[in-house]
Amino acid sequence: MLNIAVCVSGGGTNLQAIIDAIDDGTITNTRIVAVISNNSGAYALERAKKHGIEGVCITPKQFETRESFNRAFLEKIDSYQADLIVLAGFLVVLPEIMIKKYRNHIINIHPSLIPSFCGTGYYGLKVHEGVLERGVKVTGATVHFVDEGTDTGPIILQQPVMVEQDDTPQVLQRRVMEQAEWKILPQAIDLIANKKVSVQNGKVIIDTTCL
C-alpha cells in the first residue's frame, strides 16, 4: 500500500480527482494519509474533512524565520511517514533538505507541457494575460518528480491540450485541468503505487508490461 501525503494551497480539484480515483478504483493500492495546506482557508481542507482524511495547516506566516518554518514543515511531513508526497497546486517552495531526503518521492502537477511555460516566475497558464505567448496552439500538463530546480525534475507523464482562438485564461485553465491534470496526476500515482515507475539517469522509465 502506497501512503501518500497531498500538499495543497487552494481549491483542491486535483486532490478531489485523486480521492475520486481511489474511490472508483482507478488508483489502486493507495491511501491518503494527510492533506497539508499552507492556507487555512483552502477549500481543499474541506474536501479532506468530507472524506475523513486528516487535514492540517502549516504556513510560513506562523514562524519567525523561513528556517524555522522549513524545519517544522519537514517534521510534519516526516510524521506521516508517507511513501510519496504529492504537490497538487502547492504554492510553497520546498526546503532543499526535504527534496534531498525525499528524492524521487515527491511529485508535482504543472499546468503546461514542460519545458514550455515553466521555471522561475512561471506558474503555467496563470501568468498569461489573454493568450499564451505568441499564440501557442497547444498546451497541456505535466507530472514530474521534484528536484532542486524549478520544474526541472524527471517527467513522469504529459498530456497535451488544444488552445482555442477565443480562449480566456480561465476557459483554458479549466480545459487543461479537465483534459489533462485530473487524469495524469491520478494515473501517475497509480503507476507509482504499482511499482511501474523508476528513474534511470535522470529519466523516468515506465514499465509497460501488464498495463
111 binds ligand GRF (CB under 6 A): yes
- In whole angstroms, how close is the CB of 136 to ligand GRF at the nearest point? 17
Number of residues that bind ligand GRF (CB under 6 A): 14
Q: Which three cell numbers stand for residue 167?
A: 480562449
- In whole angstroms, how close is the CB of 9 to ligand GRF at the nearest point? 7
Assess whether 110 carries a catalytic annotation.
yes
Catalytic residue among 51, 105, 110, 128: 110
Of 46 and 207, CB closest to ligand GRF: 46
- Taking residues 50 to 89 in sequence order and writing x for each that binds ligand GRF by CB under 6 A, - otherwise, the string is --------------------------------------xx
Tell me the pairing of strands 106-110 and 84-87: parallel
- In whole angstroms, how close is the CB of 68 to ligand GRF at the nearest point? 26
Residue nearest to ligand GRF (CB): 89
Q: Which three cell numbers stand for residue 59?
A: 504556513
Of 46 and 67, CB closest to ligand GRF: 46
- Taking residues 12 to 51 in sequence order and writing x for each that binds ligand GRF by CB under 6 A, - otherwise, the string is xxx-----------------------------x-------
Specify the stretch interacting with ligand GRF by CB under 6 A; choose among 9-17, 23-31, 68-76, 162-170. 9-17
Residue 164 has phi, psi (to 5 degrees) of: -100, 155
Specify the stretch interacting with ligand GRF by CB under 6 A; choose among 3-11, 20-28, 61-69, 164-172. 3-11
Give the CA radius of gyration of the chain: 17
| Spatial CA neighbour of 111 closest among 169, 193, 31, 35 | 169
Of 158 and 194, CB closest to ligand GRF: 158
Which residues here bind ligand GRF, judged by CB under 6 A?
8, 10-14, 44, 88-89, 109, 111, 124, 177, 181
Point out the residues that are catalytic: 110
